[in-house]
Chains A and B, each alone.
Chain A
Amino acid sequence: MANSQIKLTKDKFAPAIIDSSLGEAIDKPSLNAWQDAWLRVRKNKAAIVSMVVIVLVILLAFTGPLFSGKEAKTQTLPHNNLPSRIPVLENISWLPFDGMRTLNNGTQVDIYEQKGIEEYYWFGTDGLGRDLFTRVCEGTQISLYIAFLAALLDMLIGVTYGAVSGYFGGRLDNYMQRFTEILSSIPNLVIVILMILVFKPGIVSITLALALTGWVSMARVVRAQTMKMKEQEFVLASRTLGASNAKIIFKHLLPNMVGVILINTMFSIPNAIFFEAFLSFIGLGLQDPLASLGTLIDDGFKTLRLYPHIVIYPAIFISLIMICFNMIADGLRDALDPKMRD
């Protein structure tokens, strides 16, 4: 206190000039809804980290097979069940990338040296000597593809159904609601399994089965929003100007609920990834040589005791993807949901 000498000059005590017109001035730049949402998503560190991780995983899934230099389908039987070995990282003793296998009696053997293999299999190989890294990358691609497609389809069905039901109301709405009520009281599990049994497992049938069961919650949300908004003035105004029903729904109502639609879709992506993997696990997955993360895990489980590495990598990938998508969806919900606004 003693050595901080604040100089008090006379001009600091001059009366302030109050310009009443400046009271109305907006000193922050005005933001549209998306910039506003982005500001709030940005505060959620978990969501941002998850987005970065997802982007990295997607990049890896698409570029991985290019620089691994191996084909996912090529079987090199002498090279089967190799543990993982990665250049450079193999020299760090506590990382499991040194190509060593621990035998039952606890001794470690360098399988690569034993078999005289010069190549590096980053994640090791499976029972048929296929490169696991390439397979995990391609499996991730397929899992993501199924999930995105299913989420997109269920968004299309759900939004259309919900908007029509909510907008037209009356008897149509009543019938449509009874239909979804019955549909939603059938466990999804049952419908999906039956559909896959009938149409045989494949990318298309799995996607369709997932989309057909997933749209109900989307339809419900969109219907509620539509009913809330359709009585508002802007709808009345555009109807007065002669806009058709389709135009009102697609041009005026739906853009106003992009937020909820987005949140719902983001939640259905991890859901679809899980269900696809789950189906693979109970024996209704894609057929070899096609592989998704689910079928890779299913394969790995068969030899879990002997070669745990086969199941570990796809398991890590699927868990990572699921965690990230859930985090992003949570972050988006917090940012876009008007009720959560602080």
Chain B
Amino acid sequence: MAKYLLKRAFYMIITLFVIISLTFFLMKLIPGTPFASASKLQPEQLTIMKEKYGLDEPLMVQYAKYMGNVVQGDLGTSFQFNNVPVTELLTSRIGPSMQLGFQAMFFGTIIGIFLGVIGALKQNTWVDYGSTFIAVLGKSIPNFVFAGLLQYYIGVKMGWLPVLFWKGWEYSIMPTIALSMFPIAITARFIRTEMIDVLGSDYITLAKAKGANYFEIAFKHGLRNALIPVITVIGPLAVGMMTGSLVVEKIFAIPGIGDQFVKSIQVNDYSVIMGTTVLFSVLFVIIILVIDILYGVIDPRIRLSGGKK
């Protein structure tokens, strides 16, 4: 186990190193300067500005400096958003994103599990087709289309929920629903397949033979075993949350990381883009690692042998 963890940590560091380097050099390839209203600056002013931000130094020196700073948790200063340090900018905005992400994840998996279970129990009936249809819709309809329509019909036309901004709990309802479509779809399909598989196994037949009631079989014996493999889809779900947060936060004007990312892309603020990229990657890499370890802990059939055949 210790050896496995060490090995994984080593890969994690390599991965992060690759991502940060890749981001750095790609951002340097972008034409133009990152300064606001650069076209109005005189060449002399531009030189001074570049000097101030250390952009006149050789590329490798900049790279080494950036790497050194990132290791210490300093992601540079924003060029466009009032020269705020990127780390500060991101930490001030992480709250809403986290809340939204967790709410959507929680709500989405619960509904998804429910849909999947009833789909499996009532296999090949209209209940099953209905839940499969919802899952296909959730997977197929692009999240920005869904979020936009939700905002228009529930928020604007009906006026039931606030349309924009982030001022209280009720403001998070629509974004959460919009963001949870993807987890609903993924977990529903996954749980359905797993449940059908589990319900056909011998220990379920035994439980039936012993006279356990329907719900006990479905939830105590069936669902618990069907849930284990669901851990493997948490990775794709986390990615879905990140992708989703960009559009959902943009549509509902939520002051989160995703909204910040989209804005920085539009104004070419590359220190913020780099910072967000690094943040997303770190989160993703950590989630993957946690999932792998959890999977080994929960399901003793899987041995963490470090990928040896």
Q: Please report A residues at the B interface, Cβ cutoff 8 Å.
A: 181-182, 185-191, 193-195, 197-198, 270, 274, 277-278, 281-284, 297, 301, 304-305, 308, 311, 315, 318-319, 322-323, 325-327, 330
Neighbouring B residues of A308 by C-beta, 8 Å:
152
Task: Check A282–B152 contact: CB distance below 8 A.
Answer: no
Q: Which residue of A lies closest to B145 (CB)?
A: A315
Pull 7 A–B residue pairs with CB atoms less than 8 Å apart, ordered by A: A181-B11, A186-B19, A191-B22, A305-B152, A322-B142, A323-B140, A327-B136
Task: Check B142–A318 contact: CB distance below 8 A.
Answer: yes
Selected from A197, A198, A311, the residue in CB contact (under 8 A) with B148 is A311
Task: Check A189–B239 contact: CB distance below 8 A.
Answer: yes
Instruction: Give bound CA distance, A326 to B239, whole Å.
Output: 19
**A186-B18, A186-B281, A305-B156 are known contacts. Are A274 and B242 too (CB-CB below 8 A)?**
no
DSSP class of A's interface residues: helix, strand, loop or mixed?
A: helix
A-facing residues in B182-209 (Cβ within 8 Å): none
| Stretch in B172-180, B213-221, B243-251 with 4+ CB within 8 Å of A | B243-251
Selected from A185, A189, A191, A194, the residue in CB contact (under 8 A) with B243 is A189
Neighbouring B residues of A305 by C-beta, 8 Å:
152, 156
Is B149's CB within 8 Å of the partner chain A? yes
Neighbouring A residues of B142 by C-beta, 8 Å:
274, 277-278, 297, 318-319, 322
Is B121's CB within 8 Å of the partner chain A? no
Neighbouring B residues of A301 by C-beta, 8 Å:
144, 148, 251
Smallest CB-CB A-B distances: 3 pairs: A322-B140, A323-B140, A315-B145
Selected from A194, A322, A330, the residue in CB contact (under 8 A) with B141 is A322
Neighbouring A residues of B266 by C-beta, 8 Å:
283
**A198-B30, A281-B247, A282-B247 are known contacts. Are A186 and B137 too (CB-CB below 8 A)?**
no
Is B55's CB within 8 Å of the partner chain A? no
Selected from A187, A198, A282, the residue in CB contact (under 8 A) with B250 is A282
Q: Nearest-CB distance from A112 to chain B (Å)?
A: 24
Given A185-B288, A270-B140, A322-B140, 7 more pairs with CB closer than 8 A: A187-B284, A197-B26, A197-B27, A282-B246, A315-B149, A319-B142, A323-B140
Selected from B29, B145, B280, the residue in CB contact (under 8 A) with A190 is B280
Task: Check B15–A284 contact: CB distance below 8 A.
Answer: no
Task: Check B277–A194 contact: CB distance below 8 A.
Answer: yes
Q: Nearest-CB distance from A39 to chain B (Å)?
A: 19
Interface string of B106-137 (1 = CB under 8 A from A): 00000000000000000000000000000011
Q: Nearest-CB distance from A103 to chain B (Å)?
A: 14
Task: Check B137–A323 contact: CB distance below 8 A.
Answer: yes
Is B70's CB within 8 Å of the partner chain A? no
Q: Nearest-CB distance from B175 to chain A (Å)?
A: 15
Instruction: Give bound CA distance, A182 to B29, whole Å.
Output: 23
Q: Nearest-CB distance from A284 to chain B (Å)?
A: 7
Instruction: Give bound CA distance, A297 to B284, whole Å.
Output: 29
**A282-B250, A282-B265 are known contacts. Are A319 and B145 too (CB-CB below 8 A)?**
yes
Q: Nearest-CB distance from A182 to chain B (Å)?
A: 5
Is B234's CB within 8 Å of the partner chain A? no
Q: Nearest-CB distance from B92 to chain A (Å)?
A: 21
Interface string of B1-34 (1 = CB under 8 A from A): 0000000000110110011001100110110000
Selected from B27, B139, B242, B273, the residue in CB contact (under 8 A) with A326 is B139
Selected from B14, B140, B268, B280, the residue in CB contact (under 8 A) with A182 is B14
Q: Which residue of A lies closest to B139 (CB)?
A: A326
Instruction: Give bound CA distance, A319 to B136, whole Å.
Output: 11
**A188-B239, A197-B26 are known contacts. Are A283 and B265 too (CB-CB below 8 A)?**
yes
Is B285's CB within 8 Å of the partner chain A? yes
A-facing residues in B225-254 (Cβ within 8 Å): 239, 242-243, 246-247, 250-251
Neighbouring B residues of A278 by C-beta, 8 Å:
142, 144, 243, 246-247
Q: Which residue of A lies closest to B23 (CB)?
A: A194
Q: Which residue of B lies closest to A315 (CB)?
A: B145
**A186-B281, A278-B142, A281-B247 are known contacts. Are A197 and B30 too (CB-CB below 8 A)?**
yes
Instruction: Give bound CA distance, A239 to B76, whole Å.
Output: 58
**A185-B284, A187-B280 are known contacts. Are A323 and B145 too (CB-CB below 8 A)?**
no
Task: Check A323–B284 contact: CB distance below 8 A.
Answer: no
Task: Check B145–A318 contact: CB distance below 8 A.
Answer: yes
**A270-B140, A278-B247 are known contacts. Are A189 and B152 too (CB-CB below 8 A)?**
no
A-facing residues in B17-70 (Cβ within 8 Å): 18-19, 22-23, 26-27, 29-30
Q: Nearest-CB distance from B166 to chain A (Å)?
A: 19
Is B262's CB within 8 Å of the partner chain A? yes
Task: Check A284–B247 contact: CB distance below 8 A.
Answer: no
Q: Nearest-CB distance from A166 to chain B (Å)?
A: 13
Q: Nearest-CB distance from A207 to chain B (Å)?
A: 18
Task: Check B262–A283 contact: CB distance below 8 A.
Answer: yes
**A187-B239, A198-B30 are known contacts. Are A193 and B281 too (CB-CB below 8 A)?**
no
Task: Check A190–B140 contact: CB distance below 8 A.
Answer: no
Instruction: Give bound CA distance, A197 to B284, whole Å.
Output: 21
Q: Nearest-CB distance from B156 to chain A (Å)?
A: 6
Instruction: Give bound CA distance, A304 to B152, whole Å.
Output: 8
